[in-house]
Amino acid sequence: MNEQEIVNQIISYIPTIDFSTTSSSVSLFETTIRYLAGMLSGYDLLSGPLAHLATNKTDVDALLTQSINLANNLSYAFETPTGIPWNNLDFSTRGNDGSNNGLATVGTLVLEWTRLADITGNTTYAALVDKAQTYLFNPSPPEAEPFPGLLGMGINVTTGEFQDAVGGWIGGADSYYEYLIKMYIYDPERYAAYKDKWITAADSSIRYLASHPAPRPDITFLAAFDGKNLNNESQHLACFDGGNFILAGQVLGEKKYVDFGLELVSGCHETYIGTQTRIGPEIFRWNSTTVPADQEDFFNKNGFWIANAGYQLRPEVIESYYYAYRATNDTKYQDWAWDAFVAINETTRIGSGYSSIVNVDAVGGGGFTDFQESFWFAEVLKYSYLIQTGGGEEWQVGKGGRDAWVFNTEAHPVRVVGGGR
């Protein structure tokens, strides 16, 4: 936004942080996509097209130094028999909680750690995540891949074996699929295999998971799965899927992916406009045989019923609107994003900030949880802003071909190798 004063407040504070100590548990995944990605993105922007905003170059350099410090403190997580990292870390003991890891939390590190390796020239950072990724590309046992390219979620850190065949484009799996095409955008030579994996997963999703609710056959959702059994259930988290298909379709020059992505975007739009707050629920279903009695009319009208009515300030629907608009120039997506932003602002603003709410289908949201997520700023506000701006900035995405920047899963833009298109 070119807010120079705020930029300099932030980057002058970051060098004061000690990333070697904390009293709380540390998630490798969350820390990577938020802290590490945020600092690397700031470094790419402020040493590149937004360099004029930083009044002190030393503070810009510190973004990279602190990225190195943070990654070095996190890196012991990869010291396992397989190289698959522990996710929940205890910095005070260099220990972990001993729990297994998951598809998304293993498969959503590669962009950030590879970018750090490329900027610093220290290939160790990329080697760590590349080793872990090999277990995702060669899943064992075979039944952990019930459909080509679509994997279960639980992974044994010690053996590398998958623990289940439960999945979909849902929380716990989502950003693994997201990063397959984004790594190809980041560097199509090194990560050509990631493109092939994305295509396999996408084609399987269209063939096996695409679903149309009985009362609203005009709507398209992606079902979840347990083995080869489909569950007519999805999540707000999964609503990034339309944007990901659109992005891939443009990069690959495949209209079928763009068109399918636009169908998914429209489906998620329906989850917003069907509720009293005009905000979509955390979890929704379209199984006709299990509709609660008090939601039968709602289901017949909207094509889904609400399984979890909360809203955790999530960005995925507006994120997909952004990709849809950038691909089509259709201003209806700007209108949809504005409607969503107005509804979220009216319903979730409380006190000095914004809070998750408990019921999107109750006037006023049904109450507040008194918790504000970081992705409210990093994603909801960013995508709401970017979809309304002129679009000429080099970090904007989705005009066909390879973009000059790729957004990580928390919407931190990373400069691609070689400058993109």
CATH number at residue 24: 1.50.10.10
Catalytic residue positions, numbered: 282
Does 418 map to a domain? Answer: no
Q: Is residue 273 part of a domain?
A: no
Q: Which long-range contacts (CB under 8 A, 24 or more apart) does 155-163 make?
A: 155/84, 155/100, 155/101, 155/102, 155/103, 155/106, 156/100, 157/80, 157/81, 157/82, 157/84, 157/85, 157/86, 157/100, 157/101, 158/80, 158/81, 158/82, 159/81, 159/82, 160/82, 160/84, 160/135, 163/100
Model confidence pLDDT, tens digit, residues 396-416: 998 788 899 999 999 999 999
For residue 266, the tally of other CB atoms under 10 A from its CB is 17
Percent of the chain predicted with pLDDT > 90: 97
Find the domain containing 35 and state its range: 1-167
Question: Is the bond into 141 cis (omega within 30 degrees of 0)?
Answer: yes
The answer to whether 327 touches 243, Cβ cutoff 8 Å, is no
Q: Which pLDDT tens digit goes with each residue over 115-137?
A: 999 999 999 999 999 999 999 99
Range in 24-33, 202-211, 337-346, 382-391 with the lowest mean pLDDT: 382-391
- Which ranges of 303-398 does DSSP label H, i.e. alpha helix? 316-328, 332-348, 374-375, 382-386
Residue 205 has pLDDT above 90, yes or no: yes
pLDDT, residue 391, reads: 78
Domain count for the chain: 1
Distance CA 214, CA 119 (A): 51
Structural domain contains residue 318: no
pLDDT confidence tier of residue 419, bands split at 50, 70 and 90: confident
Cβ atoms of 411 and 382 within 8 Å: the answer is yes
pLDDT value, residue 421: 56
Q: What is the mean pLDDT of residues 42-66?
A: 97
- Is 155 a member of any domain? yes
Angle at 130 between CA 102 and CA 223, to 5 degrees: 40
In the predicted model, what is the mean pLDDT of residues 179-194? Answer: 97
Q: Does the pLDDT of residue 179 top 90, yes or no?
A: yes
At residue 342, does pLDDT exceed 80?
A: yes
Average pLDDT over residues 254-263: 98
Answer yes or no: is 334 within a domain. no
What is residue 420's predicted lDDT score, i.e. its pLDDT?
Answer: 59
Q: Would the pLDDT of 330 be above 80?
A: yes
Could you tell me which of 53, 69, 55 has the C-alpha nearest to residue 17?
Answer: 69
Mean pLDDT, the chain, integer? 97
Is 33 part of a structural domain of the chain? yes
Q: Which long-range contacts (CB under 8 A, 24 or more apart) does 407-410 make?
A: 407/182, 408/33, 408/37, 408/41, 408/111, 408/112, 408/182, 409/33, 409/108, 409/175, 409/178, 409/179, 410/33, 410/34, 410/37, 410/38, 410/374, 410/375, 410/378, 410/379
Give the pLDDT band of residue 106 (cuts 50, 70, 90).
Answer: very high
Residue 131 inside a domain? The answer is: yes
User: CA-CA distance, 182 to 407, in Å (whole number)?
Assistant: 8
Mean pLDDT value of segment 102-126: 98
User: In this predicted structure, what is the pLDDT of residue 223?
Assistant: 98
Domain assignment present for residue 67? The answer is yes
Cβ proximity of 347 and 277 under 8 Å: yes
pLDDT, mean of residues 210-237: 98
Residue 380 has pLDDT above 80, yes or no: yes
CB distance 155 to 163 below 8 Å: yes
